[in-house]
Amino acid sequence: MCGIVGYVGKNNPIESLIDGLKKLEYRGYDSSGIAIKGNNNIQIIKSTGRIIELEDKIKETKLIKSNLGIAHTRWATHGEANEINAHPHKVGKVTLVHNGIIENARDLKNKLVNEGIVFRSETDTEVAAAVINAYYKGNPIQAITKAIKQLKGSFAFGLIFEDQDKLYAVRKDSPLIVGIGEDENFIASDIAAIIKYTDKYMLLDDNEVVELSKNEVNVYKDGEKIDKKVETSNISIEDANKGSYKHFMLKEIMEEPIVLQRTLNKYLKKPSKLFDVSDYEEIHIVACGSALYAGMVGRVLLEEKANIRCITECASEYRYKKVIYDRKTLVILVSQSGETADTIAAMRKAHEEGIDTLAIVNVTTSTIAREAKNSIFIEAGPEIAVATTKAYLLQVAMFSLIALNTAKSKELEKNYEKIVDEGKHISKYLNKILKDKDIFKEVGKELKNCKDAFYIGRGIDYAICKEGSLKLKEVSYTHSDAYEAGELKHGTISLIEDDMPVIAVITDEKIKDKTESNVIEVEARAAKIFTITNDDSIKNHHFKYVVEKISDYFQPILIVPPLQLIGYYTADSRNLDIDKPRNLAKSVTVE
Ligand code: F6R
């Protein structure tokens, strides 16, 4: 939710700020803005819409001379997406950009209004600027340190002061990194935004304030200077670019064999103790969206293969519900970004109850990676498309390994070595599926005009259908839903109309006959059946794609790319903005 970038250094800041915003556009894209500082004045330019519109506006503007600036791309929370609400916001001497939510903004605003402050926007960000300005008596570190004590909620702020030539930043529960360059320094929501300029970065912990000039970076905690470690990022410039692909989403799907094999090999060669959860009597898998659906696949594997009691719950419910921890419980948190607000809150709830947590996470510098008791890193590399693909696949694969190692430890799996060996070569099956991508392009064309679709499956196939359905709806704007195949006839079947696409996933040997019967029921109501299966003997009603039959542990992995490609190509057939679907943002750092 919202991307921040800031620059101070030898150059004019515009180029790196715009570059950075373009890389952060996945975090929000309904409006954007920059503020640059001249001698004693600040120039602010804002625009609604995409970064390109801001860029056009900047080209038409006479710019002041500057080497210090901040910029922001917005996913609106407080107030609609218009120019007034777009960041940066300036109050008095303070100009700032913000990612997060100030939960007590209304109370603070009322107080400040009574003191005579006039607000122009509806945002919580302008309130934060006013609070900092109220404390500002010429010492930015002091003002920021005092002001953040008044703010409840989450924030990453990039700040400039009218009478200072330095860049300032602070964060709490929202991501922000400090980039260390040569004669230039940066702040950014994510390293990908500045990787073109530097791979050296520093992580800020909650409430640490950073002061940056061209050649110096100082970090303060409670007003005292502290030492911070400089780290080197392993992401490459190519990771942050589309290359020859039309969309990041397709690029990221095509990367799946490589990232999957790399991660699997690492963990198969040297199985970590973290993959054995046999010490626990109950597992709670808690996450949001696709990460939750990966967890649903995990639940079936853990129950069926490792005979372990398991529940899945979306983090926004889990964080507020009464959870009964009366058995030795492990909470597994799944998150690509590691910054999803509800998942963070669920993790902290478990910690407060003294419950162990294990995170399955991609971004190693994230809050969840840093706070969870233990973490398994999926090593998907940066995922830029808003809709997750390769990270979801790897999340599923981590559950395959957890189920496998737990089953082994409980002496429930006799074929462990054979399955490990299969895991070491799994990318060859994925490569074959991805070579067939044009088959799914044709399916996408066929679905071009459909308004509704259903996904059906049983057991683990149903769990995978949840993700297939989400992919179709979020990128192609097709209304779609996933059902347990046997459940459809309890009401929903009345929605089936002539030629309505029903995508059936059939891999689970034990219940495939049952799913096939459900397919016949909907076909009898004139639905158009698209079957994805691992069994060539299953009837082809309208379209059938058969993946390799492999061990139950890894089988779900092979169903994922066909479903992702159907979503992708349906959206592509409609010429949609696939990497940035409307109303979405990649990292949901607000409740
Ligand atoms: C859908 C999608 C979202 C995320 C969800 C959780 O394609 O990407 O549903 O899976 O917002 O995000 P993370 O995994 O970052 O916690």
Predicted pLDDT at 148: 97
Q: What is the mean pLDDT of residues 262-280?
A: 93
Respond yes or no: is residue 2 known to be catalytic.
yes
Q: What is the mean pLDDT of residues 428-449?
A: 97
Catalytic residue among 2, 288, 310, 465: 2
Shared-domain flag, residues 445 and 400: no
**For residues 367 and 339, is the Cβ–Cβ distance under 8 A?**
yes
**For residues 359 and 372, is the Cβ–Cβ distance under 8 A?**
yes
Residue 15 lies in a domain: yes
Helices 555-573, 460-476: crossing angle, 10 deg rounding: 20
- Nearest 5 degrees, angle CA 91-CA 92-CA 98? 30
> Where is the domain boundary, 425, 451, 475?
425
A 10 A CB-CB count for 317 gives 12
> Where is the domain boundary, 212, 239, 266?
239
Q: Write out pLDDT tens, residues 490-517.
A: 988 888 889 999 999 999 999 999 999 9
Assign residue 285 the CATH number of its domain: 3.40.50.10490
Listing DSSP states for 433-477 in one string gives HHHTHHHHHHHHHHTTT-SEEEEEE-THHHHHHHHHHHHHHHHH-
> Where is the domain boundary, 367, 391, 425?
425
Shared-domain flag, residues 73 and 87: yes
**For residues 53 and 98, is the Cβ–Cβ distance under 8 A?**
no
- pLDDT of residue 192 exceeding 90: no
Structure-token pair, residue 492: 């929903």
Say if residue 88 is preceded by a cis peptide, omega within 30 of 0. Answer: yes
**Residue to probe by mutation, ligand 1, list 286, 288, 392, most atoms within 8 Å of CB:** 288
**Shortest-distance atom of ligand 1 to CA 587:** 15
Shared-domain flag, residues 228 and 247: no
Q: Please report, for the chain, how many H helices and E strands are present, in that order.
A: 18, 25
Residue 583 lies in a domain: no
Catalytic residue among 22, 251, 390, 586: 586
**Shortest-distance atom of ligand 1 to CA 290:** 10
Predicted pLDDT at 236: 79
Q: What is the mean pLDDT of residues 187-203?
A: 93
**Residue to probe by mutation, ligand 1, list 388, 579, 591, most atoms within 8 Å of CB:** 388
Shared-domain flag, residues 459 and 322: no
Going from the Cα of 391 to the center of ligand 1, the distance in angstroms, rounded, reads 9
Shared-domain flag, residues 526 and 387: no
Shared-domain flag, residues 43 and 65: yes
Task: Look at ligand 1, atom 3, and give the residue with the nearest C-alpha.
Answer: 289
| E-only strand ranges, 38-93 | 42-48, 68-74, 89-91
Shared-domain flag, residues 469 and 534: yes
- At position 32, the amino acid (one-letter code) is S
Q: Write out pLDDT tens, residues 533-583.
A: 999 999 999 999 999 999 999 999 999 999 999 999 999 999 999 998 888
Shared-domain flag, residues 202 and 248: no
pLDDT tier at 385 (50, 70, 90 boundaries)?
Answer: very high
Residues near 269 by Cβ (< 8 Å), separated by ≥ 6? none
Q: What is the mean pLDDT of residues 86-111?
A: 95
A 10 A CB-CB count for 489 gives 15
Shared-domain flag, residues 294 and 276: yes
List strands edge to edge, sheet with 479-484.
479-484, 452-457, 501-506, 528-533, 543-546
Going from the Cα of 146 to the center of ligand 1, the distance in angstroms, rounded, reads 34
Q: What is the mean pLDDT of residues 477-499?
A: 91
- pLDDT of residue 243 exceeding 90: no
- At position 262, the amino acid (one-letter code) is R
Shared-domain flag, residues 404 and 464: no
The domain in which residue 297 lies consists of 242-425
Specify the DSSP element, H or E, that contains 569: helix 555-573
- CA distances to 95, 485, 550, 564 from 465, rounded to whole Å, are 47, 10, 19, 11
**For residues 291 and 395, is the Cβ–Cβ distance under 8 A?**
yes
Residue 335 lies in a domain: yes
Going from the Cα of 33 to the center of ligand 1, the distance in angstroms, rounded, reads 26
Predicted pLDDT at 427: 95
Average pLDDT, the chain: 94
Predicted pLDDT at 410: 97
Residue 589 lies in a domain: no
Shared-domain flag, residues 205 and 346: no
Going from the Cα of 220 to the center of ligand 1, the distance in angstroms, rounded, reads 33
**Shortest-distance atom of ligand 1 to CA 340:** 16
Total of domains in the chain: 3
Going from the Cα of 387 to the center of ligand 1, the distance in angstroms, rounded, reads 7
Going from the Cα of 541 to the center of ligand 1, the distance in angstroms, rounded, reads 33
Q: What residues are in contact with ligand 1 under a 6 Å CB criterion?
A: 288-291, 335-337, 340, 343, 387-388, 470, 474, 587-588
**Shortest-distance atom of ligand 1 to CA 389:** 7
Residue 588 lies in a domain: no
% helix, strand, coil for the chain, step of 5: 40, 25, 40
Q: Write out pLDDT tens, residues 127-181.
A: 999 999 999 999 999 999 999 999 999 899 999 999 999 999 999 988 899 999 9
Which comes out higher in pLDDT, residue 27 or 11?
Answer: 11
Assign residue 17 the CATH number of its domain: 3.60.20.10
Residue 475 lies in a domain: yes
Q: Give pTM, 2 decimals.
A: 0.85
Predicted pLDDT at 22: 92
Task: Look at ligand 1, atom 6, and give the residue with the nearest C-alpha.
Answer: 288
Residue 342 lies in a domain: yes
**Shortest-distance atom of ligand 1 to CA 363:** 15
Alpha helix (H) residue ranges in 270-411: 289-306, 315-318, 341-352, 367-371, 390-409
Please tell me the distance from the alpha carbon of residue 107 to that of residue 35, in angstroms, as a whole number: 27
Predicted pLDDT at 37: 97
Residue 57 lies in a domain: yes
Residue 552's nearest CA partner among 506, 508, 504 is: 508
Specify the DSSP element, H or E, that contains 416: helix 416-423
Respond yes or no: is residue 448 known to be catalytic.
no
Shared-domain flag, residues 83 and 225: yes
Going from the Cα of 290 to the center of ligand 1, the distance in angstroms, rounded, reads 5
Q: What is the mean pLDDT of residues 210-233?
A: 96
Task: Look at ligand 1, atom 9, and give the residue with the nearest C-alpha.
Answer: 289
- CA distances to 133, 259, 283 from 83, rounded to whole Å, are 22, 40, 47
Task: Look at ligand 1, atom 10, and give the residue with the nearest C-alpha.
Answer: 290
**Residue to probe by mutation, ligand 1, list 248, 249, 290, most atoms within 8 Å of CB:** 290
Structure-token pair, residue 105: 């903004």
Share of residues in the chain with pLDDT > 70 (%): 100
